[in-house]
Structure formats: structure tokens, C-alpha cells
Amino acid sequence: MAYDYDPDLLPLIAYVPELDIADLGAARALLDSMRVARPAFVLPDSVVLGKRRVPGRAGDPDVDVWVFSPRARTGLAPGLLYLHGGGFVLGDAEGEALTPAQAAEQVGAVVVSVEYRLAPESPFPAAVEDCCAVLRWMAENAGELGIDPLRIAIGGQSAGAGLAAGVALLSRDRGGPRLCMQLLEIPVLDDRLDTPSMKTYTDTLLWNLPNAVKSWEYYLGPARDGLETSPYAAPARAGDLAGLPRAFVSVCEFDPLRDEGLQYAQRLVQAGVATELHLYPGTFHGSSGVAPQAATSLRMKRDWLDALRRGTAAVPTSS
């Protein structure tokens, strides 16, 4: 099928490799080769990077995290728990170091990026519990990290955004820690795969219906057999979205995940959650990473950073 992609993206489309996670070993090798081919990540001078190991949930392994902090921070900063994408089966904190670094540099946030366990080796609930454990650690150690505990946000891209939505639900239902915002960028939210965009986009770049089917099979693992999927795995299944933190949701036009993001944003609004929604015409899933200097990609990044800045702004104290 032909798609009316944004003109700025067209010159690069021919170079986008075909990603097929049915052969997961090959997909992981492809991701590694793409990382080697692109310019190396350079940490901004104004940002300090530290690596820590955080206690996992009882009975689970410890979790490695990358902590990006503004070098010239004065006072308590907003915090962001950042979760990388990769369909629950690919990716790591190193591969998505740029976005947390930009959040630290341009917003002044202390960003904790999580090396959560991947499926199928560690299916649900491993990843979401890793992220919940790190959120709890952030809140309990906010003073040491230089974070204002009342201004902790959570965000991610693709599967990372789906995990962020799941952690927001879990944190609400378990009674904390309290989040001030959730940033859901091109989120994976629904294992039922029955939206119009999911049924239509069977051959789109990077992500499509066949990859979505395999991703959920890997992620849910044994939990998929004969049981209704947990809303903490697929947040679109949650019956009640009231009481969740304010949200920023972004979707791409030619993305099978488009409609589940749109529907989730609409349900958040209907549940009384302040929600900002962006749909970017002419884009495809992951297009901002393929063509980061395209005008539409730059706009997507500005919108995301601006939403984080506004959503974690200090609340004025009454005199």
C-alpha cells in the first residue's frame, strides 16, 4: 500500500530496514547494526550521567538504571522516569540515551532511564514490576537524587509508553508513589489488535500488524493462555481511568498503534484526566528516530519537551 508520507521523510524511506521480530535474534542483530552505523551519542556538557543498580521487587533481580542530572542544578528538580521502546523485546537505555539527556539539559529534570527486563526471556509482569520498583526507589530517594517528590513524571516511547501507562495504573491502584504526569509517545496499549489502524497498516515501516502480533505473544507469554489480559500489561483494558496523572499522548498518522493511542486519550479526557493529544500527519511509527532532523521530527521533540516542562513546573506556594 502507498502512504502519503511527509515530504521531509521521503528521501530516507528507502534506507529504512525491514524489521521482522518473528526472527527475534535477527531483529536484535539488526538493531545493534543500526546503532553502530549512526553517530555516537554525546552527553551534553551540562548533564552528568551516573549508573546505579536499584533493588527490584521482592523476589525479583535488581534493576540497572541510567541517571541523567543537570550539572548546574540548584534546589530540587523535577524527576522523570523514562522507559525505552522496542516492542517489549528490543532496545535498552543506551539506545535511547538522547531523549533523557535532552530532558535533563533543556527541562532541568533528573531523568532515570530503566533497563527493564525484556520478553520473551522475561514476560509480563517482569518489565512493569521493574519499572514500578525504580519509581518507588526514585520517590524514596528523592532527596539524594535532587528530585522534588511532588514533581515526578513518567514517560516513554512505543512499548515504553505502554509500560508508563501500566505503571501509572499500578501506582494509582497500589496507593503510590504519586505521579504528576504521564507522557505517552506513540504508545502500545492494546493486545486485542482490533482498531481500524491496526487492521489497515499491515505493511508500514518499522511497525505493523505482524510485528504487533508477535510482540504481544512474546510479552504476555504464559499469561496469554486462557486468561483475560491484565490492564497493567495492556492499559486499554483498564475499566476506570479516573485518578490518573495528567497526560500527554502523541500518535503518528501511518502507525498501526495510532487508534489505540487516540482512543486512550479520549477515555482519559472522559474520565476527567487533563490530557493533551497530538497527531502528526505524514509520519510513521519511529519516524522521528529515523529522520531526527526532519521538520516534523523536530516539532515532535519540541512538543514533548514543552509538555514535560509544563507538566512538571513547580506549583506556586500560597503566601
- Residues annotated as part of the active site: 158, 255, 285
Residue corresponding to grid cell 520478553: 119
Which amino acid is it at 313?
A: A
The C-alpha cell at 227 is 486468561
Q: Which residue(s) pair with 254 in the sheet?
A: 284
**What is the rounded distance in angstroms from the CA atom of residue 48 to the CA atom of residue 229?**
40
Cα gap 294→313, rounded to integer Å: 29
Instruction: Answer yes or no: are the C-beta atoms of 44 and 105 closer than 8 Å.
Output: yes
Three-state SS for 112?
A: strand
**Which burial class, exposed, middle or buried, applies to 196 when counting CB atoms under 10 A from its CB (0-12, 13-18, 19+)?**
exposed
**Rounded CA gap, 10 and 113, in Å?**
32
Neighbours of 229 (CB within 10 A): 18
Per 3-state DSSP, what percentage of the chain is helix, strand, and coil (rounded to 5)?
Answer: 40, 20, 40
Q: Which residues does 12 contact at the CB level (< 8 Å), separation at least 6? A: 290, 291
Q: What one-letter code names the amino acid at 54?
A: V
